[in-house]
Chain A
């Protein structure tokens, strides 16, 4: 049993761009995924192609385009026998084979496992008995199949399907013509067996109200296309169902239970609805920067420590600070950090949508790691409806491969103006059926009002998802909070899961609003980072947080640079725009003067481009135009529309000036930029493979993470400090990875001590 459960990766049924039909197309472009242990139902009016789809998936009908994957393999490349060991079917009651006992019908399920003449082995008999037992058909097993009732027959067909030991079970309206008792019986069995045997189930269902109750995912088809895929809650919306079944404004009272959810308040107020897909928890906040990322990260690490396979998830990130995966895809850094907490490699499934603000009203939209274009806010609001299946798919992939998925919300959960088509907070929680922990920030004040106010703005069913409240960033004695917390849980009807102390833990930051920019005073060794208006990917300097003697200051005022030992021009989302800013703000002049004084200047990515002589943007990829650079390095940049995204592994090739002793040090990082930079004159290669050049104490490179290796980080500081006759302890500096691991464990320890972990596990269904 165990190996069955563990080998869930890629298991199940999937279609990609499938087109079905007999002589002409009935439904086009069907992309669906059925994962083990889940029931996916097909609904739609008569003649919409539900059965045709099932027939195509099971191979009774040829597809007219697209692919069908069974356990990750293309159906057309598999033999009928192979398919039979993975996929079995149950159809509407109709076939009545003559003179066969029920047992013989079940035995026919062993077909793919028996030899030339179909003789059943000991094991086959065992499997048959097991299937009969599982469907409770022992009493009718030896009766003739024609002499039992329709309902009993469906049970036998189900037993036959189980005897086939399928990973995927396809059922075509298995309860048609059955009375209410057998209908209940069959549906209960299907549901239980799906879970207990970890089978991926795809079934068509006639009655929408049944699909509403039974399904994990519902696929609604009509008029030749898939109209909607989602959780029952998303699909069974009155307007949509009326349209799907062409109900118009018909009164549906006669059919009994209404086949849709009324959006306002499911069930009576206060009624507790246990919610949650097992192994999913979502962290939402009362506002931005309450520490959602950090709490999610800490929980990830706790679950990992407790022996679970964990993955982080956030449907949509808004940040300039992106990361490139090993497949060359872009995702938000917060999920990369959380993935590190989970000790899994970052995957774009963990953050399917990334918005990188380009200016005040627009963003570059990155879906599944690839940019799809720049959009204004209103445009994106319209576009994001299309992203629901992508989000769902990404989440399902993660859930499929992990025991626990920790989801992070975005901003505040009570943005009531943005509630329609929400895909980041409660909308997402509903989509994936997740319980929610709501986090408030006491450091910024008004934490009780934050939490209560947020709960108050939620609908009843949203409120029911909230399984606990967390007060974050508390300084002082928790006892002082107690009376407030009691009142809080009393007023809200929601337990307080914990009070988390203010932590001084260094983690990768989520967005440009971070505390990092709060000015700090210069320490013994000072690094000044120019705070460009469109600064991006600024985690390059996190490594220096490890050393007590080193300060990293972000500054946008020339005078603030002061006596910095190193001046860094970081990456930017808008090179030409920020270059203009450099010039207008007088920063350009200041940098040139510093360079003339032999101060170490390091340009990374966009900063490197700015150090050059010219930046041309003929295609307008980053604002257009052509611009003079700082002319500190003899390089020229042409910004192009294609984006370079790759991991870098090389060395510090021939550093000049004060860093010359670093020659040969390993450099590991990543490149992410638009444009090519070429050396126009003689210059020494800084980082290898033409990724950067240097002259004197001016160094430029495209490599982000330049300082992530111990050799580079400590080496640069040591060399510069020696040159400036300072003594700085660099022994604290370790590889960023080791350092981070320690930080993550520390974070987990703090959270474990302050949160009610048993309650969280319980909310997740453990």
Chain B
């Protein structure tokens, strides 16, 4: 770890604290900071304010933190897997695949008048994510070009989105607005139970990825060198696929597709730390992903308050320039 890494982690920690603070005090209901903290520690005088803070803002912040981190980590793993800097769960259509299966199961259950549980949603999202991933993998065997792979992923994403839209259009249900919001990507409406479930799933993924630090480090040198060094390439590849799919699926199940966090954050982090050590990248991506998502969510809530824009709109506006910059830099270097 170089000095830049320590500095980066220090700055990220401070910014995270700042972002959490900002997200706590800002919102459509204005609550003074001291009241917020009072509510947070259960000493709030106003029941309504306490409720806003503990039941709405706090779960939302936690979800933004966890899901944002998960997205960035998924992006990092996919970039490692494909050895391609411009892939992420959204670009490869994995999020869209998850979105499709979640939408289908939501509508199926809502038509019967009951709401499916979070775990069930995560499960169906995982199936969609894996299905989309499988399709991308099939394509990646046939096409070796980075660009074509990304185009294919986007196509798969569009097809999934189109089907989702179709389903939503003909669903004709009272909850359709809800579904529409979700399918655009939103962190609203989280509760502490959801947060608990996502913490467990993503926590497991994060721990598992820590054990991949060594092989990923070797994998940077390419399959041949990593393999000759003794890394179990097949196991690594399977783990990368499973973990990134599960991460992306979990995010999608709870918050719908959130674009560009997965693809841009690893690059931002490398830019900050000037290293590609997985020991730095894995925790770093998680932290930076959390930070970026917190900031974007804050903007989504506040810029046009009281109207809330979809978080993907914010992430797109903020992060697409990063992606473009990466592509230009690559092009000019090679």
Contacts and interface: CB of A to CB of B under 8 A. Distances in A.
- A-B residue pairs, 8 tightest by C-beta: A84-B230, A118-B214, A111-B229, A112-B230, A99-B276, A95-B222, A97-B220, A81-B230
Interface in A47-98: 55, 58-60, 80-81, 83-85, 87-89, 91, 95, 97-98
Contact of A99 (B211, B274, B279): B274
B221 A84 contact: no
Contacts of B193: none
B224 interface: yes
Max chain B C-beta neighbours (<10 A), residue from A87, A99, A105, A114: A99
Interface residues of A, number: 31
Main secondary structure of the interface of A (DSSP, over half): mixed
Nearest to A104: B277
A117 B228 CA distance: 18
B224 A83 contact: no
A59 B274 contact: no
A116 B214 contact: yes
B217 A118 contact: yes
A99 B276 CA distance: 6
Contacts of A97: 220-222, 276
Interface string B43-79: 0000000000000000000000000000000000000
B227 interface: yes
B316 interface: no
Contact of B275 (A55, A84, A99, A117): A99
B227 A60 contact: yes
B213 A99 contact: no
B28 interface: no
B219 to A, nearest CB: 9
A111 B62 CA distance: 37
A713 to B, nearest CB: 61
B224 A89 contact: yes
A98 B270 contact: yes
B173 interface: no
Given A105-B221, A114-B214, A117-B210, 8 more contacts: A59-B227, A95-B224, A109-B229, A116-B214, A117-B211, A118-B213, A118-B279, A164-B228
Given A98-B276, A118-B217, A112 B270 contact: no
Given A98-B270, A111-B214, A117-B279, A89 B228 contact: yes
A80 B217 contact: no
Contacts of B21: none
25 contacts: A59-B228, A60-B223, A60-B224, A60-B227, A60-B228, A84-B228, A88-B228, A88-B229, A91-B225, A95-B222, A95-B224, A97-B221, A98-B270, A99-B270, A99-B275, A108-B229, A111-B226, A111-B231, A112-B229, A112-B230, A117-B213, A118-B213, A118-B218, A118-B279, A164-B229
Interface string B177-215: 000000000000000000000000000000000110110
B13 interface: no
A377 interface: no
Interface string A333-373: 00000000000000000000000000000000000000000
Nearest to A58: B228
Contact of A111 (B224, B230, B275, B277): B230
A85 B228 CA distance: 9
A452 B274 CA distance: 74
A266 interface: no
A258 interface: no
Nearest to B275: A99
Nearest to B273: A99
A368 B222 CA distance: 44
A118 B210 CA distance: 11
Contacts of B223: 60
Interface string B261-280: 00000000010001111010
Contacts of A449: none
A117 B227 contact: no
Contacts of A160: 225
Max chain A C-beta neighbours (<10 A), residue from B224, B225, B270, B277: B225
Nearest to B214: A118
Interface of B: 210-211, 213-214, 217-218, 220-232, 270, 274-277, 279
A83 B220 CA distance: 20
Contacts of A88: 228-229
Max chain B C-beta neighbours (<10 A), residue from A83, A100, A104, A111: A111
B225 A95 contact: yes
Contacts of A98: 220, 270, 276
Max chain A C-beta neighbours (<10 A), residue from B214, B223, B230: B230
A87 B270 CA distance: 32
A116 B211 contact: yes
Interface of A: 55, 58-60, 80-81, 83-85, 87-89, 91, 95, 97-100, 104-105, 108-109, 111-112, 114, 116-118, 157, 160, 164
Contacts of B224: 55, 58, 60, 89, 91, 95
Contacts of A84: 228-230
A85 B214 CA distance: 16
Contacts of B211: 116-117
Contact of B230 (A83, A95, A105): A83
A117 B231 contact: no
A236 B230 CA distance: 37
A95 B226 CA distance: 11
Contacts of A114: 214
B217 A108 contact: yes
A111 B221 CA distance: 12
A117 B276 contact: no
Nearest to A85: B230
Nearest to A87: B228
Contacts of A60: 223-224, 227-228
A94 to B, nearest CB: 8
B127 to A, nearest CB: 32
A97 B232 CA distance: 19
B268 to A, nearest CB: 13
Contact of A100 (B228, B229, B231, B276): B276
A416 to B, nearest CB: 50
A161 to B, nearest CB: 9
A91 B221 CA distance: 11
B172 to A, nearest CB: 50
B166 to A, nearest CB: 41
A415 to B, nearest CB: 49
A89 B225 contact: yes
Contacts of B232: 80
A55 B218 CA distance: 18
Nearest to A163: B229
A80 B221 contact: no
Contacts of A58: 224, 227-228
A98 to B, nearest CB: 5
A133 to B, nearest CB: 21
B50 to A, nearest CB: 44
A112 B222 CA distance: 16
A622 B228 CA distance: 56
Contacts of B221: 95, 97, 105, 108
A88 B227 CA distance: 10
B119 to A, nearest CB: 31
A157 B231 CA distance: 17
A203 to B, nearest CB: 14
B16 to A, nearest CB: 24
Nearest to B330: A98
B274 A111 contact: no
A118 B277 CA distance: 11
Contact of A117 (B214, B230, B270): B214
A88 B226 CA distance: 10
Contacts of B231: 80, 111
A80 B230 contact: yes
B169 to A, nearest CB: 44
A98 B224 CA distance: 16
B325 to A, nearest CB: 15
Contacts of B229: 84, 88, 108-109, 111-112, 164
